[in-house]
Structure 1
């Protein structure tokens, strides 16, 4: 008898997504027919030159922008049909968002920044008690819980921000250039933590990045150009090393018309 094939669930489905700005002759097509799925437990990267539509895509997924056409489905539900209550639930607990520039509140401690989503959305204190210690220990930020952002390093700020994104236990984490404001050492440390969250804890992550090194932690990469997907890379587990995958990413970036510093 053959082995059982396990079909992974499609957590996020982007279907024919278009976003146009302006009218008629001055129209800009920021997204021009994006279609892709994010599978449960996947670490999916999206790469492309500045202006290709990556930020617009994330803003549509986060519901900061309304698409001109197309659908975004989370666990099969069209988020475009959500009422205000369900939108608040979606933003507050069903997706987590990790920003490039941390977006921590300066007047709150590390602990208060992490638990802010629970306070805003009226989550039970039990969630904080159960989940906070695990996240704090894994991300190695216990020593900054009582510090303000001005007292933290860039790496500590981004790990606090990661804990904030994860504490509501979202189905998917959206990471927007998470290493963009970090030096090489802190960028590598953060990516190792995100990789562990994905590989060891099954967290689903969708990450936009310019950085081939960060992208090498992804299991699959979509390359965007002019608002659509035009190339895809998959890491060949288990035989392909991260270094070999990184070299393949660099080769693809060069072949597709950009170098690592402009992607």
Structure 2
């Protein structure tokens, strides 16, 4: 893994409402993400993990603090800068796929490229490379209604990767999948992360899914509660899973409470 910092989150806070109705969703969270890292974010429902991901995605603006992507302060981006960041620097993988029903898999995947004027052979070669890696060549001409949930999420994964973003943000990517399709998706994402040094930041409630990560941040009440690093050389996913479960139990309420 590269030691270059691709993302720096510095003292991020997010406050909703005022006075008696004030809710502090994030309370001064700071961390770095290295290039090629697969970072998991876990925490109970309402802990702030999705708020944090949406701040990085610029879907919401933090109340204070700053977020740096490749040493550029994305919190200050406006207009064209913001559109470029969303279109080229980040890929977003949603829980519910968010595919356009009236487009084929192929059209859904290359949509981010066509929005930025990249068409023809360049788009086609990227498309087929990703389709092969994610095992979705057979559904490229199908519409979402003709695909299984697992196929839809792998098409969505291809769409998030097609513009070769600096970072992929995944929000509960297996949340709508059964265990078999969850494993297929995570095996594919893990392989892409390792072989192509693709940086991924993923929110998940599932300890099995989290065990694919190289590092996990646990968030509780808008603050960092704990951090786990996988020993890449000596630790397999089963061992890492056991350590994840231990931390979840320490957070209170057992694994069922970490949503």
TM (norm. structure 2) is 0.97
CA distance in 2, matches of 1:258, 1:133: 45
- Return the match for 1:11 from 3, 6, 9: 6
Kindly report the root-mean-square deviation, in angstroms, between the aligned alpha carbons of the 2 structures: 1.2
- Return the match for 1:165 from 154, 160, 165: 160
- Return the match for 1:131 from 123, 126, 132: 126
Instruction: Provide structure 1 residue ranges, at least 5 long, that are not aligned to the other structure.
Output: 1-5
- 2:174 is matched with 179
- 2:112 is matched with 117
Q: Number of matched residues?
A: 258
CA displacement, residues 166-211 of structure 1 (integer Å, 9 cap, x when unaligned) = 0000010000000000000000000000100111111100000000
- 1:95 is matched with 90
Tell me whether 1:66 sits opposite 2:61 in the alignment.
Answer: yes
CA distance in 2, matches of 1:169, 1:240: 29
Tell me whether 1:84 sits opposite 2:79 in the alignment.
Answer: yes
Indicate if the aligned counterparts of 1:33 and 1:228 stay in contact, CA closer than 8 A.
yes
CA displacement, residues 128-178 of structure 1 (integer Å, 9 cap, x when unaligned) = 123111100000001111100000000000000000000000010000000
TM (norm. structure 1) is 0.95
CA distance in 2, matches of 1:164, 1:236: 31
Runs of 4+ in 1 over 3 A off after TM superposition: 124-127
Q: CA deviation at 1:261?
A: 2.3
Instruction: Provide structure 2 residue ranges, at least 5 long, that are not aligned to the other structure.
Output: none
